[in-house]
């Protein structure tokens, strides 16, 4: 196993929110106190836990596709990827407000395409959220020739999708590439030859959980 943790335990995206929640709780503690102050401290703890980004262990298996986020698998299907036009196996992972919301790359490779789409903020667990909600799709071509697309989808409360990579960037497996604030979903589109390792209802831990295995070489590369 390999340890991946080149970032703070509390994500930088959350520092302003945590600072505001802490200052608010402290002010209420000083001037009001009692149960009211306790409620504000609970609010601060909730905000802090949302923005945590703990170290994780990652497999060294080069064929493994790791979970990009913590959450629960809510859908698996064979479908045409709307961002690449290729026939794929899609794994959809839903995050609630208690999950870690930092996104990691499920595979290593070069970013071919990044597409952002403004949209609605429906419950991310709904099937139509994949088409109607605000989303950001990143397509990566692996060294073995596999094309993998992973899509950040905003949710009912999520109002900001963050992606820190650019087209042409080379990414490592498990590398931190983005963040979605306050509840959302990530869809991963895999080649049809991928062997899935998860089922609907399974819980995933970002980077630690292997959601699929890819062949050592793509079908196109073998021809």
Question: Would residue 92 show up in a list of annotated catalytic residues for this protein?
Answer: no
Q: How many angstroms separate the CA atoms of 193 and 102, rounded?
A: 28
Amino acid 205: pLDDT: 94
Query: Each residue of 17-40: pLDDT tens digit?
Result: 889 999 999 999 999 889 999 999
Residue 1 scores a pLDDT above 50: no
> Does the pLDDT value for residue 154 go beyond 70?
yes
* 2 pLDDT tier (thresholds 50, 70, 90): very low
> What pLDDT digit, counting tens, does each position of 158-203 carry?
557 889 999 999 999 999 998 886 668 899 999 999 999 999 999 9
pLDDT at 112 over 80: yes
pLDDT score at 182: 63
- In the CATH scheme, what is the code of domain 62-218? 2.70.70.10
pLDDT value of residue 223: 46
Model-level pTM?
0.83
Order of strands, sheet of 195-196, starting from the edge strand that comes earlier in the sequence = 64-66, 210-213, 195-196
State the SS3 of the chain: CEEECCCCCECHHHHHHHHHHHHHHHHHHHHCCHHHHHHHHHHHHHHHHHCECCCEEECCCCCEEECCCCEEEEEEEEEECCCCCCEEEEEEEEECCCCCCEEECCCCEEEEEEEEECCECCCCCCCCHHHHECEEEEEEECCCCCEEEEEEEECCCCCCEEECCCCCCEECCCCEEEEECCCEEEEEEEECCCEECCCCCCEECCCCCEEEECCCCCHHHHC
Q: How crowded is residue 98: how many other Cβ atoms within 10 Å of its Cβ?
A: 11
Per-residue pLDDT, 145: 94
User: Which of the following is catalytic: 92, 102, 184, 218?
Assistant: 184
pLDDT single digits (tens) 48-101 = 887 888 888 899 899 999 999 999 999 999 999 999 999 999 999 998 878 887
Q: Which helix (H) or strand (E) holds 148?
A: strand 147-154
**221 or 196, which is more confident?**
196
């Amino acid at each position: 196993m390999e340890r991946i943790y080149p970032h703070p335990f509390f994500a930088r995206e959350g520092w302003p929110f945590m600072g505001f929640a802490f200052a608010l709780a402290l002010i209420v503690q000083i001037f009001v106190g009692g149960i009211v102050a306790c409620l504000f401290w609970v609010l601060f703890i909730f905000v802090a836990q949302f923005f945590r980004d703990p170290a994780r262990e990652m497999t060294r298996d080069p064929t493994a596709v790791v979970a990009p986020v913590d959450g629960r698998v809510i859908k698996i299907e064979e479908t045409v990827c709307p961002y690449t036009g290729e026939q794929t196996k899609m794994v959809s992972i839903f995050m609630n407000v208690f999950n870690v919301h930092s996104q990691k790359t499920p595979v290593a490779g070069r970013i071919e395409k990044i597409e952002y789409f403004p949209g609605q903020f429906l419950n991310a667990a709904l099937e139509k959220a994949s088409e109607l909600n605000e989303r950001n799709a990143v397509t990566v071509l692996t060294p073995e020739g596999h094309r993998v697309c992973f899509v950040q989808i905003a949710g009912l409360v999520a109002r900001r999708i963050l992606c820190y990579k650019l087209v042409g960037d080379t990414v490592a497996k498990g590398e931190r590439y983005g963040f979605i604030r306050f509840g959302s979903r990530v869809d991963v589109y895999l080649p049809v030859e991928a062997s899935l390792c998860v089922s609907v209802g399974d819980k995933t831990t970002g980077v630690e959980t292997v959601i699929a295995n890819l062949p050592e070489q793509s079908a196109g590369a073998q021809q």
